[in-house]
């Protein structure tokens, strides 16, 4: 079996390590690989049509993101969900996401504003939880990426990477999805109009509410 027989088309131009990283990470974020699941390198390599070397390197990258844990002389496992760690992540996001949206509202190009408006419409469509996870991330990424500060964008990208897999449970609740969509629309309306202070305040409230929705969802975490 060749790599091309297994690797999805969007990944064929990547290195084998990048392919393994992206596919394993996708399965962790989307819940295909559950918390505490044992990650057998040989089994993963066979599934992906790769050798164990890129899989091993991919797992090291995922460990640097706290998505897997490599236990000395034992198996590598998917990291358990940890509400305490998530609280710490949101404590930083609640400072930086509003800053990014305020900057973006001031400096974004018309093309960026148009893209954000289009992504908002896409995010409001009826979607599966996994589709909603990705469309929500695309909308937020477009907003914070418009701020013009590459360091801030990189930090937020890393913070968002730490949050994605926690949010899937909230996206199974249609009522919660509607509330989040309403929050997004108010943020985008203020952003597109250039009302930076209003957009920042709305984003702060949205990030806080987002954590509360995760906290009250059925994740089986201890507060």
| CATH code where residue 13 lies | 1.10.10.10
200 lies in the same domain as 109: yes
Domain around 39: 3-78
106 lies in the same domain as 68: no
105 lies in the same domain as 198: yes
29 lies in the same domain as 127: no
26 lies in the same domain as 106: no
Q: 96 lies in a domain?
A: yes
pLDDT value of residue 4: 45
Q: 222 lies in a domain?
A: no
Each residue's pLDDT tens digit in the chain (223 positions)?
Answer: 444 445 555 555 689 999 999 999 999 999 899 999 999 999 999 999 999 999 999 999 999 888 999 987 678 999 999 989 999 999 999 999 999 999 999 999 999 999 999 999 999 999 999 999 999 999 999 999 999 999 999 999 999 988 988 988 788 889 999 999 999 999 999 999 999 999 999 999 999 999 999 988 755 454 4
pTM above 0.85, yes or no: no
Beta bridge partners of 39: 76
- CATH number of the CATH domain containing 142: 1.20.120.530
64 lies in the same domain as 164: no
pLDDT value of residue 215: 86
66 lies in the same domain as 88: no
Closest CA to 12 of 1, 27, 26, 23: 23
109 lies in the same domain as 63: no
pLDDT value of residue 139: 98
Contact assessment for residue 106 and residue 196, using Cβ atoms and an 8 Å cutoff:
yes
pLDDT value of residue 207: 97
Domain boundary among the residues 44, 78, 112 is at 78
Give me 53's structure tokens: 């070397």
Domain boundary among the residues 78, 111, 131 is at 78
49 lies in the same domain as 112: no
111 lies in the same domain as 185: yes
pLDDT value of residue 222: 45
pLDDT value of residue 7: 53
Q: 143 lies in a domain?
A: yes
pLDDT value of residue 10: 55
Please tell me the distance from the alpha carbon of residue 55 to that of residue 103, in angstroms, as a whole number: 39
Task: Provide the domain count of the chain.
Answer: 2
72 lies in the same domain as 40: yes
pLDDT value of residue 150: 97
Domain boundary among the residues 78, 98, 118 is at 78
């Amino acid at each position: 079996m060749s790599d091309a027989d297994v690797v999805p088309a969007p990944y064929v131009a990547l290195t084998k390590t990048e392919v393994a990283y992206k596919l394993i990470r996708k399965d962790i974020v989307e819940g295909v690989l559950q918390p505490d699941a044992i990650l057998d390198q040989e089994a993963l390599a066979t599934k992906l049509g790769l050798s164990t070397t890129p899989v091993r390197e991919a797992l090291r990258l995922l460990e640097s993101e706290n998505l897997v844990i490599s236990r000395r002389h034992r198996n590598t496992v998917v990291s358990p969900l940890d509400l305490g760690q998530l609280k710490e992540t949101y404590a930083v996001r609640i400072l930086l996401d509003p800053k990014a949206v305020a900057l973006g509202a001031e400096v974004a190009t018309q093309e960026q504003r148009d893209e954000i408006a289009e992504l908002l419409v896409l995010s409001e469509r009826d979607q599966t939880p996994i589709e909603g996870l990705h469309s929500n991330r695309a909308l937020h990424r477009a907003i914070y990426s418009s701020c013009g500060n590459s360091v801030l964008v990189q930090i937020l990208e890393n913070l968002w990477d730490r949050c994605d897999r926690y949010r899937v449970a909230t996206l199974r609740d249609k009522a919660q999805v509607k509330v989040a969509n309403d929050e997004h629309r108010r943020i985008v309306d203020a952003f597109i109009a250039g009302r930076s202070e209003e957009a920042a305040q709305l984003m702060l409230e949205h990030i806080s509410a987002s954590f509360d929705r995760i906290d009250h969802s059925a994740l089986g975490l201890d507060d």
